[in-house]
Amino acid sequence: MRRRPGGLEELLGEIGSCRVCVERSQGAALPHEPRPVIRASRTARIAICGQAPGTRVHACGVPFLDPSGDRLRAWMAVTREEFYDGTRVAIVPMGFCFPGLDTHGSDLPPRRECAPLWHDRVLAEMPGLELILLVGAWAQRWHLPFMRGAGMTATVAAWREVTGADGAAMHFPLPHPSWRNNAWIKRNPWFEVELLPALRGAVRRALDAGPAPPAGPVAPKEVAAKK
Ligand code: SF4
């Protein structure tokens, strides 16, 4: 996707004031004020593409500040400081705003309006990306269309095939680090024995390389629109 003249700063400004899911929603409108939560920098080497903020992230504006985040950091073998170093790590979920809860109290899926509108445009503004973590089925379906229909287990199991770099950013499909996937992790021991060491090596190489040379003027930036 072509980069825009106004660059990442302008794009993040537009996202910060986005009200599409309230004013032009597809189906039911977002049941609360939008609060996009995204971190992006032109110098980022790693992008973490998850699902959408939950209630806690919606309240505090800091992504992965929960037990799932702790587990994801353990999978990556990074400290909190490294994880939240916006010069090297971007956090770009498939839906930027908390989508609300279903009748059972579970998080709704990412808003369908969000990714087609913003996702690829944000990634296009980070030319130094080397590694894209696809955390959960929503990110995998978007980034690996040839795996659509295969299901999350088959997609993660194919990690060696989909991480082929070919000069572009490497994709690492991962399950969501929620406790809900504890049984899945037990059933698939290759995930911890084979995939995680490879992931940790790739993450360490990207982090140790430092911030990517910026293609334009930038500082790390996060969007968490005021409530
Ligand atoms: S979820 Fe995405 S498209 Fe919807 S209001 Fe938030 S930023 Fe805009």
- For atom 8 of ligand 1, the residue with the nearest CA is 18
Model pLDDT, residue 142: 94
Q: What is the DSSP letter of 193?
A: I
| Ligand 1 midpoint to CA 186 (Å) | 35
Which residues have CB under 8 Å from 156's CB, separation 6+? 140, 173, 174, 175, 188, 191, 195
Model pLDDT, residue 1: 60
Class of domain 7-222: alpha beta
pTM of structure: 0.90
> Which residues of the chain register pLDDT less than 70?
1-6, 164-169, 215-227
* Domain regions of the chain by residue span: 7-222
Model pLDDT, residue 153: 95
| Ligand 1 midpoint to CA 224 (Å) | 12
Residue ranges in the chain assigned as alpha helix (H): 7-16, 20-23, 55-60, 67-76, 80-83, 114, 120-124, 137-143, 152-157, 159-162, 182-187, 190, 196-208
Model pLDDT, residue 134: 96
Model pLDDT, residue 161: 87
| Ligand 1 midpoint to CA 115 (Å) | 9
The model's pLDDT over 29-56, given as tens digits with 9 standing for 90+, comes to 999 999 999 999 999 999 999 999 999 9
Model pLDDT, residue 166: 43
The CB of 202 under 6 Å from ligand 1? The reply is no
Atom of ligand 1 nearest to the CA of 18: 8
The model's pLDDT over 139-178, given as tens digits with 9 standing for 90+, comes to 999 999 888 889 999 999 999 888 754 445 689 999 999 8
- For atom 6 of ligand 1, the residue with the nearest CA is 97
Model pLDDT, residue 227: 44
Model pLDDT, residue 163: 75
Pocket probe mutation, ligand 1, options 96, 112, 119, max atoms within 8 Å of Cβ: 96
